[in-house]
Chain A
Amino acid sequence: MNFPSELKYTKDHEWVRIEGNTAYIGITDFAQHELGDIVYIDINTIGEHVAKEGIFGTVEAVKTVSDLFMPVRGQVLEVNAALDANPELVNSDPFGDGWMVKITVSDTKELEELLSVEKYKALIGA
């Protein structure tokens, strides 16, 4: 299983790629593996300000459904349009083409609370 070390993580199995005061968010390799074949990414929060740990969308796998949580407070700037036709990108490339949203971070101090790769690996017992 893949764990890029340059990313930050959450206990809800999201990853965060920080670029200044914006950030890309997706779900981890572990999460996509647990969900199984993903068939629909439902995100209706574009333009919205969402609280930390607030729900910004939902991921539907064949057998199960799971909410997506904001790692930090922010505004949803962009949704990965490629996922609309190809939700399986989240399975095949969770840290790359399977990214989900781009946000502006409201308070960059909150980024410090995210998990390092070591802490995330410890959390899931990897």
Chain B
Amino acid sequence: MKTTALTDTHIKTGAKMVPFAGYNMPVTYAGINAEHDTVRKAVGVFDVSHMGEFILKGEKVLDLIQKVTTNDASKLYDGKVQYSCLPNENGGIVDDLLVYRLNEKTYMLVVNASNIEKDWDWISKYNDFGVEMKNISDRTSLLAVQGPKAAEALQSLTDVDLASMEYYTFKRSIFAGINNVIISATGYTGAGGFEIYFDNDHAETIWNAIFKAGEPFGIKPIGLAARDTLRLEMGFCLYGNDIDDTTSPLEAGLGWVTKFSKDFVNSEALKQQKEAGISKKLVGFEMIERGIPRHNYEIVDAEGNVIGKVTSGTQSPSLQKAVGLGYVSNTFAKEGTEIYIKIRDQKIKAKVVKPPFYK
């Protein structure tokens, strides 16, 4: 199993470790509800170094990125980040990702750990543009420092004015005395904060510096379990659950990052799908009756006919109620529609709501 540069640190800290996407990762430290709460109310640190990073460089780098991603990367400028998708040729999604413009000729793509090889092969296949590609995943660490107190907690470590950084922008700067660290005002929690990218050699130094600087703000380490409940409260998609090789970006509610102003892989077919109208849709729902929806549970109508499937579900620690995401046929996608989740052979009532669940 693969490790991150901080795996031993997590074990020493007493984290419960689980295999995730081929990596030995911390799933909880103090308990999922406490960790979730720390991020919503103060600040927490996730080691998400399992994520993949590719550097793409060349005269025609933008042409390659425009070809393989759905969003319009020509809108990016130096220091700007964009959420996007890699569409496949059959109407589905190879992966979702972040695109960073480092400079006019150099971009960084941040992809899901479980898809690193698949994405690399996929992008390489379309590289008719002479773009130089480098996979720096194995030597890059990534810490997500998330929560309303993240800027204050980290400010002593850098000259960059963190509080004034706009969402989805980044800076390359000195951080905790280390050169060339990427400080990105992004995250997967809806709690605000930063994602910090740096070379593995500095992992221990930066981890320790963050906890020292953040101590007065109640900073705590957070595991992947709370990362999942936090993202789900925001209605953010998780690749492998809510989106995959078979789901359309349009059905997944990712139309806002699917731009038909340019040509990309499978754009013609997706455009036709958009014009014809989609037949099913990823919706949020909250439970009215008691029960907790889980991945792959059936969604049924009042008569018990199957109308869709749950893709993610949990008890929301912030809201103290059960929420989920799932695909339903169009007729049931409207806000307020009563649907039922099949839990242990019983129909449990829920209603369609518009994410984010946590506002």
Contacts and interface: CB of A to CB of B under 8 A. Distances in A.
A39 B225 contact: no
A20 B305 CA distance: 48
A65 B292 contact: yes
Give the interface SS of chain A, mostly helix, strand, loop or mixed: strand
Nearest to B229: A62
B314 interface: yes
Contact of B317 (A40, A42, A62, A65): A62
B31 A39 contact: no
B181 to A, nearest CB: 32
A63 B290 contact: no
A39 B228 contact: no
A53 to B, nearest CB: 17
Contact of B32 (A37, A58, A60, A65): A37
A39 B28 contact: no
B291 interface: yes
Contacts, number: 34
A47 interface: no
Interface string B220-238: 0000010011000000000
B225 A63 contact: yes
Interface in A25-63: 36-37, 39-40, 42, 58, 60, 62-63
Contacts of B33: 37, 62
Contacts of B294: 65
Contacts of B225: 36, 62-63
B344 interface: yes
Please tell me the size bucket of the interface on A: 10 to 19
Please tell me the size bucket of the interface on B: 10 to 19
Nearest to B343: A42
Nearest to B314: A62
Interface in A74-123: none
Contacts of B315: 39-40, 60, 62
A40 B320 CA distance: 11
Nearest to A88: B33
A58 B291 CA distance: 11
Interface in B126-162: none
A32 to B, nearest CB: 11
Contacts of B228: 63
A58 B229 CA distance: 21
A63 B32 contact: yes
Given A36-B225, A63-B314, A42 B291 contact: yes
Contacts of A63: 32, 225, 228-229, 314
Contacts of B28: 36
A58 B32 CA distance: 20
Contacts of A60: 292, 315
Interface string B24-52: 00001001110000000000000000000
Contact of B292 (A36, A37, A40): A40
A58 B266 CA distance: 45
Contacts of A65: 292, 294
Contacts of A36: 28, 31-32, 225
19 contacts: A36-B28, A36-B32, A37-B31, A37-B33, A37-B317, A39-B315, A40-B292, A40-B315, A42-B291, A42-B344, A58-B344, A60-B315, A62-B32, A62-B225, A62-B229, A62-B317, A63-B225, A63-B229, A63-B314
Given A40-B290, A42-B344, A62-B33, 9 more contacts: A36-B31, A36-B225, A37-B31, A60-B292, A62-B32, A62-B225, A63-B225, A63-B228, A63-B314
Interface of A: 36-37, 39-40, 42, 58, 60, 62-63, 65
Closest 5 CB pairs of A and B: A39-B315, A37-B33, A60-B292, A62-B32, A37-B32
